[in-house]
């Protein structure tokens, strides 16, 4: 039955479709990365930061530079990165604390030396003067003006699980992905917390389509233009403040329901890091970029709103189909994978088929 369904998708589009196409160049230990397992990537103008399993790497002027614990990094495993666009300071979430790279110097914050909730730091984001941190034992917030820390856990929020996995902030709201606890929302104006999880209270997964958050095991949040996207290990959800919309591989262009990260550019154009490739959604159509799962040949798949699927001829692909994260450099895209860092250079031509 599954083979028949896939065959049905491989038909020509009924209408013209346009999706971005990239020429991919890949980086690994062979050309300067300290480790091929890249968990995170952050773009700072012409500089590219990569968080790997063996240190922090900086790509600048065609060369890689590595920072390790010997340079002051809290831990060799760098899980998440967040750039302060005002100061160009880089905040670094690691398995052993939170670090900050500023003007060539690395400072580190731990549970013993600061108000950090736990040394296992999964996520970090900058919101003006505040730095919000997701840890294995709750959330922390640093006021960079006063150096004061605030701690948020099950005692002062609706958080019934304290394993916070990712965080995204805008001027009005802060959202946390809480592992096994759904999504936690902080309203900046009222300073109140609210949680979103299983809507019927019976299962950790939503039973009816678009009823609410698709699953309580959340891995990533991305909040832009008052639109919240949530990644889980069982699909994706979009929330506009009133209504939820859920996405599964069976009824969308997602190549897998196992999502490591979601990142939206404007609330509509959204990227998904999955275990079966990098996916892009423009609000109507989908594209998937990856090495094929069987032959590992470069592949680009495009799916329209009716479910029609076609393969676009391509010569290159991201380094691996297991994707951890993504960031953007103008029209280009940078992708953290299990086998290296990939740079997608936009090809300025339209892929169109009638």
**pLDDT band per the 50, 70, 90 thresholds, residue 348:** confident
For the chain, percent of residues with pLDDT exceeding 90: 88
pLDDT in tens, 221-233: 999 999 999 999 9
Position 211 scores a pLDDT of 80
**pLDDT band per the 50, 70, 90 thresholds, residue 207:** low
User: For residue 223, what is the enclosing H or E element?
Assistant: strand 218-224
Position 209 scores a pLDDT of 73
What pTM does this model have?
Answer: 0.92
Within-domain flag for 71: yes
Within-domain flag for 336: no
Which residues, 6 or more positions from 155, have their beta carbon under 8 angstroms from its beta carbon?
Answer: none
The label of the residue with tokens 């039955």 reads 1
Position 205 scores a pLDDT of 60
Within-domain flag for 299: no
**pLDDT band per the 50, 70, 90 thresholds, residue 210:** confident
What domain range includes position 215?
37-285
Position 81 scores a pLDDT of 98
Asked if 22 and 333 touch (Cβ cutoff 8 Å), the reply is yes
How far lies 12's CA from each of 16, 311, 349, in Å? Answer: 10, 10, 20
**Mean pLDDT score, 124-141:** 98
Cα-Cα-Cα-Cα dihedral sign, residues 240, 241, 242, 243: positive
Within-domain flag for 318: no
Within-domain flag for 333: no
Position 203 scores a pLDDT of 53
CA–chain centroid gap for 1, Å, is 33
237 by Cβ neighbours in 10 Å (0-12 / 13-18 / 19+) ranks as buried
Helix (H, G, I), strand (E, B) or coil at 70: helix
Over 90: is that where the pLDDT of 16 sits? no
**Mean pLDDT score, 3-27:** 59
Within-domain flag for 78: yes
CA geometry: angle 294, 307, 206, nearest 5 deg: 90
pLDDT in tens, 171-192: 999 999 999 999 999 999 999 9
Which residues, 6 or more positions from 301, have their beta carbon under 8 angstroms from its beta carbon?
Answer: 253, 255, 286, 287, 288, 309, 310, 311, 312
Pair type for strands 332-337 and 227-232: unpaired
Phi, psi of 272 (to 5 degrees): -130, 125
Cα–Cα distance, 211 to 26 (Å, whole number): 40
Cα-Cα-Cα-Cα dihedral sign, residues 291, 296, 297, 302: negative
DSSP string across 75-92: -S-EEEEEE-TTT--EEE
CA atoms within 13 A on the CB side of 218: 35
CATH code at position 160: 2.130.10.10
Position 201 scores a pLDDT of 55
Within-domain flag for 213: yes
Over 60: is that where the pLDDT of 263 sits? yes
Cα-Cα-Cα-Cα dihedral sign, residues 338, 46, 327, 116: positive
Cα–Cα distance, 49 to 216 (Å, whole number): 31
**pLDDT band per the 50, 70, 90 thresholds, residue 349:** low
Position 234 scores a pLDDT of 95
User: For residue 166, what is the enclosing H or E element?
Assistant: strand 164-169
The token duo for 201 is: 């209270």
Number of structural domains (the chain) is 1
**Mean pLDDT score, 128-140:** 98
Within-domain flag for 154: yes
Over 50: is that where the pLDDT of 23 sits? yes
Binning the chain into helix, strand and coil, the percentages to the nearest 5 are 5, 50, 45
């Amino acid at each position: 039955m599954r083979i028949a369904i896939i065959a049905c998708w491989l038909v020509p589009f009924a209408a013209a479709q346009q999706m971005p196409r990239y020429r991919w160049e890949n980086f690994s230990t062979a050309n300067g990365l300290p480790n091929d397992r890249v968990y995170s990537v952050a773009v700072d103008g012409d500089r590219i930061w990569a968080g790997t399993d063996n240190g922090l790497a900086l790509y600048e002027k065609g060369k890689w530079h590595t920072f390790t614990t010997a340079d002051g990094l809290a831990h060799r495993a760098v899980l998440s990165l967040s750039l302060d666009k005002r100061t160009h300071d880089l905040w670094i979430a690691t398995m052993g604390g939170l670090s900050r790279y500023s003007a060539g110097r690395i400072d580190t914050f731990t549970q013993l030396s600061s108000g950090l909730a736990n040394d296992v730091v999964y996520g970090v984001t900058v919101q003006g003067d505040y730095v919000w941190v997701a840890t294995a034992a709750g959330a922390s917030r640093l006021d960079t003006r006063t150096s004061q820390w605030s701690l948020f856990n099950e005692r002062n929020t609706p958080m019934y699980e304290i394993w916070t996995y990712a965080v995204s902030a805008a001027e009005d709201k802060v959202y946390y992905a809480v592992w096994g606890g759904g999504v936690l929302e902080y309203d900046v104006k009222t300073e109140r917390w609210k949680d979103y999880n299983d809507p019927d209270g019976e299962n950790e997964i939503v039973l009816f389509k678009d009823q609410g958050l698709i699953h309580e095991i959340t891995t990533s949040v991305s909040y832009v233009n008052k639109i919240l996207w949530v990644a889980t290990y069982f699909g994706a959800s979009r929330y506009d403040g009133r209504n939820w919309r859920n996405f599964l591989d069976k009824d969308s262009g997602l190549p897998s329901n196992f999502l490591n990260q979601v990142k939206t550019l404007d609330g509509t154009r959204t990227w998904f890091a999955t275990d079966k490739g990098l996916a892009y959604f423009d609000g109507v159509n989908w594209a998937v970029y990856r090495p094929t799962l069987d032959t590992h040949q470069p592949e680009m798949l495009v799916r329209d709103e009716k479910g029609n699927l076609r393969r676009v001829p391509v010569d290159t692909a991201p380094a691996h189909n297991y994707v951890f994260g993504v960031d953007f450099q103008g029209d280009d895209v940078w992708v953290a994978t299990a086998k290296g860092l990939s740079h997608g250079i936009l090809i300025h031509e339209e892929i169109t088929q009638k």
